[in-house]
Chains A and B, each alone.
Chain A
Amino acid sequence: MISSLGKQKIAFFFLFLANLLVIVPVGLILLIIIQKGLPAMTWQFITDIPRQGMRTGGIFPAIIGTIYLVAGSILFALPIGLLAAIYLSEYAKDNVLTRMIKLAIVNLAGVPSVVYGLFGLVLFVSFCKFGASILAGSLTLGIMILPIIITTSREALESVPAMFREVSLSLGASKWQTIRHIVLPNAIPGIITGTILGIGRAAGETAPILFTVAAFYLPRLPKSIFDQAMALPYHLYVISTQVPNVEEKVRYGTALVLLILVLFVNLVAIVIRSQFRKKKKW
């Protein structure tokens, strides 16, 4: 017969074990990628075009392609997402419409990424006749990260105390002036955090760009937004499953560059968030 405190000890031990089961593999994954990817990290690897059917050379076009795609998707998603967040936090009443908008956001966040790919293919590539292009890919990724930007921006706006708004309105400022000069400036760090998380997501996704932009092998830089482009996540997929006899170090090197890009972006978001929490005046 075990005492109830003994049982508690055993239970807590197993709960801790569950955490180790998740955290240790995360650490191992990072360690393996860093250890096996670092030997590939040369200046040439970062700045050269892929050569010999992607078996040697570098990954520069893929890095640039990903940067274009991320920039394009943010350009599209940030204004719409921010305005939508302002609507939800400042204007929306507690009614059926608001409930439907919130449900739509939840659904948008849950749509499988490959379905975004299908949608982008039929709407942007075929229907709007953009072809497989940076424009089509950016718009597809932009819609995909919209829920992230709306949700985080809305939280940031709603965390600005109601008092701030009341004071501004009582001084005779209009509702928009209050939002523009009082609410938005106080919510900026939260909005930036949301945007950065969106960037991280857009940079790492593969399925939505498969049919909308990604070029299997394009050893030059894209010329315009109607051009196809290589992208890092797709490139990693291609050289690890589609092209035989690629050196292990090239694969790990590509994974490492993608990982560094995404984790760096997330780290920036975390730092901004914690700085903001320290400085918060209310």
Chain B
Amino acid sequence: MRKFKEFIIEKLILLSGLTSIFFVVLIFLFLLKEGLSVFQIVTPCDFLFGKSWYPISEPAQLGILPLMMGSLIITLGATIISVPIGVACAVYIAEVAPSRIKEILKAGIELLAAIPSVVLGFIGMMTLVPWIKNVFHLPTGLTALSGSVMLAFMAMPTIVSIAEDALYSVPKSYKEGALALGATHWQTIYRIIVPAASSGILAAVMLGIGRVIGETMAVMMITGNAAVIPTSILQPVRTLTATIAAEMGEAVVGSEHYFALFAIGIVLFIISFIINVTSDLFLHRERK
């Protein structure tokens, strides 16, 4: 009887172990099931590179290029801002900060990671957006720049914590060797430690980018949501994620608009899949 009970439990454990694979496959299959129908209406090429997104006009125009450009410009902006600052934070925390300050900084960054994105979006709307409007004398502060700044901020905890781990995992002997040869602490950091941790830092940057591309609420609240191809960072843009969040509520189930939103979901899923798999490869190289 006890043997039997244990047998059942161990099978249950194995089954639960497999659930993550099951869910990833399930998510992808269901997205495909709903999303692929859109390609009966538009060709994949027109969908990906079509320049206008008017999903409810007659006939519907379902080109997601403006949305992809929106995501791209915000991601680029956020990456340019967050990578240098994030890596610098990680280096300071891992190598330079006295333990007291280190604890405070780490707690602050954990705090930032815990703040819900809708709260950050709200606060961005109330503070950052009017500020950008005034500084650049714009008709509206809901711009790609506001989104980039806010998302750079939101990507920070991911970048800092993973880069920090990568820096810690550099063998102590490297550092000691460099110091013993007479290098200063700073020379050791940027000539030895950072290069040795580079693949982990790269993974941190990629996961930070993944966070930015996938972020929905804050971006929807502060970028103005205009589905046009942006020509400047001071224009309103609309991202892939915000389009789904803003329009799914109104899309009629089974309409081409509904299918198109799921197809956008497929695009997002594939992007995040590629980012996660490659950054995982980088992290593994790090460990070796």
* Residues in chain A within 8 A of chain B (CB atoms): 4-5, 7-8, 11-12, 14-16, 18-19, 21-23, 25-27, 29-30, 32-33, 79-84, 86-88, 90-92, 100-101, 103-119, 121-123, 126-127, 143, 146-147, 150, 174-176, 200, 203-207, 210-211, 233-234, 236-237, 240-241, 248, 251, 255, 258-259, 262-263, 266, 270
Contacts and interface: CB of A to CB of B under 8 A. Distances in A.
Interface size class of B (residues with CB under 8 A): 35 or more
Contacts of A105: 20
Contacts of A4: 184, 186-187
A103 B283 CA distance: 12
Contacts of A87: 13-14, 16-17
Given A84-B17, A112-B215, 13 more contacts: A8-B187, A22-B109, A82-B16, A87-B13, A90-B13, A103-B276, A109-B276, A112-B214, A114-B214, A117-B244, A204-B117, A206-B216, A259-B115
A91 B17 contact: yes
A106 B276 contact: yes
A150 B156 contact: no
Interface string B81-115: 00011001101110011000000110011111011
Contacts of B214: 110-115
The A interface, classified by DSSP as helix, strand, loop or mixed, is helix
A126 B280 contact: no
B213 A112 contact: yes
B27 interface: yes
Interface string B120-164: 111101110000000000000000000000000100100010000
Given A12-B186, A126-B253, A200-B114, A18 B89 contact: yes
Interface in B4-24: 6, 9-10, 12-21, 23-24
Contacts of A200: 114
A22 B31 contact: no
